[in-house]
Amino acid sequence: MIRKVAIIGLGLLGGSIGLAIREHAAGISTAGYDSDAGVRDAAKARGLVANVCETADEAVRAADLVILCVPVGAMEEAARSFADALPGGAIVSDVGSSKQSVGNALAAALPGRTIIPAHPVAGTEQSGPEAGFSSLFTNRWCILTPGADADPHAVEAVSAFWTKLGANVEIMDAEHHDLVLAVTSHIPHLIAFTIVGTASDLEEVTRSEVIKYSAGGFRDFTRIAASDPVMWRDVFLSNKSAVLEMLGRFSEDLTALQRAIRSGDGDTLHDLFSRTRAIRRQVIEEGQDDDRPDFGREDHS
C-alpha cells in the first residue's frame, strides 16, 4: 500500500502529480522538495503538496513511494542527495522520458533499492510550479519499465498508483520504450526545434513576418518548440542511440520526398499523405487527441 508519496521536483509534472493525488487519491499524503527556493515558495502558495520541505531528506523520510520529477540528466545527483534518508522499504520511481539511462542512473545512485522507472506520456509546453494541473494524466499512458528482477508487488503498487491518477498503464522493456518514444516524441520535438530555428534565421523573410503570418502548421511547431530547453537537452543526450537511429530513418524518408517533388512524382506524394492522414484518424480513435477543427481551440486567429 502506498500511503505517503514524496515528490522531488515541483515543476509541471511534479506539481501535477501532487494535485492529481489530492483530487483522485485523497488517502495518500504528500511531501515535496525542489532545489529552487522560489519554486518551493510557489508550490506552497498553490498547495501542490501537503508539505513542502526544505531538504530532500525531509521529504523522503517515511515515504512509501519517491518520484523523481527532475530533468533526466539530474536524476542520479538528485537520487544521491536523499539516499541516506530513504526508508528501507520505499519504492523509487521517476517521470523521465528516456528509460535506459534513467534506470542505470538510479541503480548507480541507490544500489539495492527498489526502483520502478516510469514515464507518464503527458505534458505541455509550459513548465514550472504554476503550470501543473490535476487532470494532466487523465486517459494518458504511463509506461513502466521495471528491470527483469523487479519486485512484482512493487510493480503492481506503482501501476495501481498511476491508475488512481487516471492514467492507462503499460509495462514495457526500457530499450523498446526508448525506441518508441524516439519516434513518437523525441524526433517530432527535434523537428519542431529545427524548423522554428530555421524560420527565425531566414534573411529573406523577416522574423516579424514569420510571426505575423504563422499559419496553423508553423504555429503548432512553435508550441512544441517552446518546451523546456533543459529537459529536452537532457532527453536527446540520454536517448542518443535511439534518437540517432530514428533520425537516420527520417533523413532517408526526407531524401525520398525531395526526389519525388523534384521529379514531379505526384503519386508518391499522394500515397504518403494518404497514409499519414489515416494515422491521424487512428490517433483520434484511440482518444489521444481532439477531432474538432484546429484541435478544439476557441481562438482560430
Alpha carbon distance 143, 187 (integer Å): 19
Could you list the beta-strand ranges (E) of the chain. 4-8, 29-33, 51-52, 65-68, 91-94, 114-115, 118-120, 141-144, 168-171
| The predicted structure's pLDDT at residue 1 | 84
- For position 199, which CATH number holds? 1.10.3660.10
Span 88-108, mean pLDDT? 94
Inter-residue contact 1 to 27 (CB < 8 Å): no
Domain of residue 148, residue span:
4-172
Inter-residue contact 23 to 3 (CB < 8 Å): no
Judgement on whether residues 204 and 157 belong to the same structural domain of the protein: no
Judgement on whether residues 148 and 233 belong to the same structural domain of the protein: no
Judgement on whether residues 107 and 158 belong to the same structural domain of the protein: yes
Span 114-124, mean pLDDT? 91
Contacting residues for 198 by C-beta, under 8 A, at least 6 apart: none
Residue 300 belongs to a domain: no
Judgement on whether residues 15 and 94 belong to the same structural domain of the protein: yes
Highest-scoring range by mean pLDDT, 146-155, 192-201, 202-211 = 146-155
Alpha carbon distance 221, 195 (integer Å): 8
Number of domains making up the chain: 2
* pLDDT classification of 154: cutoffs 50, 70, 90: very high
Residue 240 CA, chain-centre distance (Å), reads 16
Judgement on whether residues 65 and 182 belong to the same structural domain of the protein: no
Domain termination site, one of 108, 142, 172 = 172
Alpha carbon distance 19, 13 (integer Å): 10
Kind of pairing between the strands at 29-33 and 4-8: parallel
Query: pTM, whole model, 2 decimals?
Result: 0.80
Residue 289 belongs to a domain: no
Judgement on whether residues 135 and 163 belong to the same structural domain of the protein: yes
